[in-house]
Each structure stands twice: as C-alpha cells, then as structure tokens.
Chain A
Amino acid sequence: MVPFLSPVNQIDPSLPQSIMNAHATRSLLRRQLPTGGKQISRNAVGNQYRCFSCSVKKSQQPQSTPPPPPPKSSTGTTHFGFETIEEALKEQKVAGVFSSVASSYDTMNDLMSLGIHRLWKDHFIRNLNPGRNPLTSNTAQEKGWNILDIAGGTGDIAFGMLDHASTINNDAHTKVTVADINPQMLAEGRKRALATPYARSDRLRFVEANAEKLDMIPDNSIDLYTVAFGIRNFTHKDVALREAYRVLKPGGVFACLEFSKVRNPVFDAIYKRWSFSAIPLIGQLVAGDRDSYQYLVESIERFPSQTEFRDMIKDAGFMIPGQGWEDLTDGIAAIHKGVKPA
C-alpha cells in the first residue's frame, strides 16, 4: 500500500533565505511537537514554501485557470502535483515523498480520511472475494489465487486478502506478491508481516519492482492484480496498465482503488476545502511535513475522472464490468475493475 504521503527530500540551493526561515520555523515546531520531531530532523526542508492561503487559492484555481498543461518537450514532462517536471524526475520525487512516512502512515491516513479508508479497503477486499473454496470447487488441479498487489508496500491490502481467503473461503493456498518501488515502504511491510500468521509461510512475498516494468513476473500468471492508492503516483499510467494486462491470466482481474472525483457539487466544495486546507495542516502538525501532503491533495486533483480512467482501462484491452467503476463515499474514492478477455 502506498502511503498517502511523505516529505520531499530536496534542498533547493537557490533559496537560501527561505531555507533559513523555514529551518527556524521547523526547529520551533520540533520543540513544540515531540511526536513529529524525528520526521522533521530527517527531512530538513521542502524545496518550496507554500502558505496556508496560497494552497486554498490553488485549490480554487482549476475552474478559472486550469493547472498548466505539461508542455511537450523532447525529453517528456509529467506532473508532480500541480507542478510540471521532467519525466525522469517524477520517480525520484515520488520516492522521496514516500521514503520516510512509513511509520506515521497509519496515523495520517486515519486522521485525513477520518478512518473511512479502512472501510474502503475492507469493501474492496470483500467485493473481490479472493480465494478458492476447496469445499465447492471439485477440480483440484489449481489451488488458490495468485494475487499481485502493486504499490502495496505496507501490506495492508495483502494481509486483508490473505485473511479473507483463509477465513471466509477456507483457502490455505492463495498467494500474494507485494510489489513496491520503494524499499523503505517494503521494509515497513515486512516488519508488519511479522505480526501476522503469514510472515514465514510461502503465501506472502515482497518484491521491489516498478509497476511499469514487471520483468520478474511471467506473462499470464496472475489471477488478480490490485493497486490501492498507488496508480496516481505512476509516471506512465498507460504503460502500467499494459504491463498489468501482460501479467494477468486470461480472465484475470485488474482492480484499482483510487481517489476520484466527487459528483455532488455541494459535497465537492466541502471536500475540496477539507483536502486543500486541513490535510496539509494535519501533515504539518502530525508528520512534520507540509509539502508532501500538499503533493497528495494536488495529485488527487490531477488524477483522471471515473469515466476517463475507465476508458484508459478499456484502451489497455480489458473488458469493463457494468459501468466500470463503483463510487465510494460519493466519489471521493472509486473502485475500477477490468477483466482480461479469455
């Protein structure tokens, strides 16, 4: 599971003055907030200071002046939140964001979503219903599902899948491969796995991998490909979708849980207000890092809408079940699914 957020470890030498100021503020914060202290000292300073009012202004900008479209250059650019950066840099920057949050990850997720993210993940798992029940399946040539959890670093989706398969479907063979691009997040997942019954079994495996290049996973080998709150951070979403199509068996399922667009305009206004003002503030107070949480809300804003993402899944070759997605909490998050044709 990719965390909602974390700091950007980049010091911009062109801004000595702002660094000094920010440093002074942070050390003050460190003294006042002992819980966030460790994070702050590790992350030094973000490359850009954004005040509270600027972020609110930014949240309202898209209607009048949309975020600058990435200019086409020969090297290729992509967006990192509302910024436009070189494609090659995005991976590093995202890695920086996720490197140090692992420990405050759960607390932050609970605070930002008011605990609702647990309900979304439970629903996601229950809805996919992983595992082959040995009591109802008469053919024994194939046991269990082979699940690939992309961007699943801290492992909560993986543990949920294994728990569901074991306790609901009485399936002791379903396997989960947790892949994440970030070694720190994987280390956190391995640590957490020790508290589950799967730590020393062959049912759980951790792999460091880029979702756009899954060379260690053979073609047509996966029953279920899941990515929860991760695909937003991919540099090339279409390449990742094609890679998912390659590794899935015919009939295999691509399932994605991701932030999406709220349909109701009134609720959307309240939600935008919460995400652009409260979330960076919570990030600053609890994790000691504002910029990373600013990136979180901006990347959510930049993620394609339900219909656009459904069409991206269709373009990768998948069949779409029903309308193609299911809104959670009026569209704050959405579950997208695709089935590889047999």
Chain B
Amino acid sequence: MPPTQLARALPRTSRTASSRGAEGFRQRCCYHSSQYSQPPPFAPAESAILSAAMSHVPNVGFTIDALKLGARDANYLDASTNLFPRGVFDLVNYHLVTQRLALKDTVQFPPEGENGKKLGIGSKIRTLALARLRANEPVIDKWQEALAIMAQPSFIPPSLAELARLADEIWYLAGDKSVDGSWYTKRASFSAIYSSTEVFMTQDKSKDFRETEQFLDARLADSMKLGSTFGALSAWTDYTAHSAVNVLRSKGVRI
C-alpha cells in the first residue's frame, strides 16, 4: 500500500475503533457510580402505563384490571397490556424498582459534624428502612396481594433479587464501606429484618404505623444483640483456643 493511502486510512480506523470502544463500554456498563446517572429502568411507554396503573391499585388491587385501566389512562388499549410478559408481577416489580430508586432522593442526611452530633450507621439504616416502608403506605391494603404474587414459584427468584438490591442500596446510602465478610451478613440480616417488618406492616392498624416502627426497632436491636453475642463468642473461642495451645506447648508438645 502506498504511504499516502496508509496515512489516510489510519486516522479513520483509529477513530472508529475508539468510538466503538466507548460505545461498547457504555452499553456494558456493569459498574455502579454515583457520578453518572443510570438509564431509566423502564421504557417510556411501559412506565407511562405502569405509573397510571399504580394509581388504580388502591381501588382494584394488584390485578390485570389495574393494568388495563392504566393502559386506558395512558391512551393505550386493553390489548396493550401484552407489553408486560409477566403480567401483574411487572406492576409489582415497577413499584419495587421505582421506590428503591426514589430512596436516594427522598432521604437526605445532614452533612456530618454539623451540630457536633454524628448520625451513626445504625440510625441511618433505621431511617432508610422506615422511608422505604412508608412508600408502601398508599397501597398497604393491597400489599398482601403483591406479596402473594411475589411468592409464586416463577416470581420468587426475581423478587429475592430485588430484595437483595434494596438491601444493597440501603447499606450503600447509609455510607457503609465494609469490604470484609460482614458485607454478606449485613445484607442478609437487613433483608430478613426488612421483609418481616413488611409483612408485619400489612397487619398494622395502629395510628401512623407506630407499631411497625416499634417492631422494626425491636428487630434491629435483636440483630445488634445477636451481632455482639457472636462477637463475644468468637473472642472467647479465640482466647480459649490460644490458651489451650499455649498450655500444651508449656507441657512440651511440639505444636
């Protein structure tokens, strides 16, 4: 190839390669960063129908009728509910996803060290969990239906995955930066506490859900107590094992 041709060909190829690289990177985008806004989780038409359908849930519950009414409100047809292959579960999923993503905007913590009092991670977790539970308030009468839908065998895996994402989001927003084994135990224990509180809330008739709040506090205290018991137990085991080894060594055993 003559050198001039090569020179002309080169910049073009490098440019296309780099632009394609950037595009591919953006598409894959499997990391999370608070610096970049994430793409909306639902397509515009879907979110128009689903958000309109959510306004009908207090009356007709999490049913296909809510989806049909929502579709009609959004200038679609009854038939357009075929846009949701998982049917009513897609409506429940919409509520879960939008409320999870709304947390970072609805809950704002005061900047640290403002009036000398620092908000601990425990109380941040409590605030966030309560905020998420309060988001179920408008549909709390129908929430048992949603729980029943989520408990259907084919919808259990996506529901658990969504619970895990919620736990992760809340620990992230609370400012937890742990990178050890407690990363898992923290999320697992929070998932257990949150889901049991959610079930409790569907039965709660007290004013302003005060009993739910008490229930959540009791469960969080339990987990703290459990955590400290486990910590004490492991310290005791560690101490006893070391002592035993040292006693054996003093008796001449080669360990």
Contact assessment for B65 and A136 in the assembled complex, using a CB-CB cutoff below 8 Å:
yes
Complex Cα–Cα for A82 and B80 (A): 37
CB of A198 closer than 8 Å to a CB of B: no
List of B residues within 8 angstroms of A326 by Cβ = 85
Interface hits, A202-232 → B, CB 8 Å: 223-224
> Contact at A251–B84, with CB atoms within 8 Å?
no
**A223 to B85, Cβ gap below 8 A?**
no
Q: Does the CB pair A321–B85 fall under 8 Å?
A: yes
In this complex, what residue of B is CB-closest to A337?
B82
Which residues from chain A contact B84 at a C-beta distance below 8 Å?
321-322
Q: Which of B70-78, B130-138, B210-218 contacts A (4 or more CB under 8 A)?
A: B70-78
Known: A139-B72, A251-B71, A321-B85. A341 touches B79 (CB 8 A): no
How many chain B residues sit at the interface, stated as a range, is 20 to 34
Given A128-B82, A339-B82, decide whether A251 and B68 contact each other with a Cβ distance below 8 A: no
- B7: interface (CB < 8 Å): no
Report the minimum CB–CB distance from B64 to chain A (whole Å).
7
In A181-195, the 8 Å CB interface with B consists of none
Specify which chain B residues have a CB less than 8 angstroms from the CB of A63 in the assembled complex.
none
Q: How far is the CA of A130 from the CA of B82 in the complex (A)?
A: 10
Question: How many residues on the A side are at the interface (Cβ–Cβ under 8 A)?
Answer: 27
Check A321 against B68 for contact (C-beta < 8 Å): no
Q: Tell me if A253 is interfacial: C-beta within 8 Å of chain B.
A: yes
B6 within 8 A of A: no
Q: What's the Cα separation between A309 and B45 when bound, in Å?
A: 22
Whole-angstrom CA separation of A224 from B76 in the bound complex = 13
The residue among A128, A136, A339, A341 with the most chain B CB atoms within 10 A of its own CB is: A339
Q: Is B83 an interface residue (CB 8 A)?
A: yes
**Is the Cβ of B85 less than 8 Å from the Cβ of A322?**
yes
Do A253 and B80 touch (CB < 8 A)?
yes
**Known contacts A139-B72, A322-B85; A249/B45 CB under 8 A:** no
Please give, as numbers and ranges, the residues of chain A lying within 8 Å of B72 by CB-CB distance.
Answer: 139
Between-chain CB contacts (< 8 Å), 10 pairs: A127-B82, A130-B79, A132-B78, A137-B68, A145-B78, A223-B77, A224-B79, A253-B82, A319-B43, A337-B82
Residues of B within 8 A of A (CB): 43, 45, 60, 64-65, 68, 71-72, 74-86
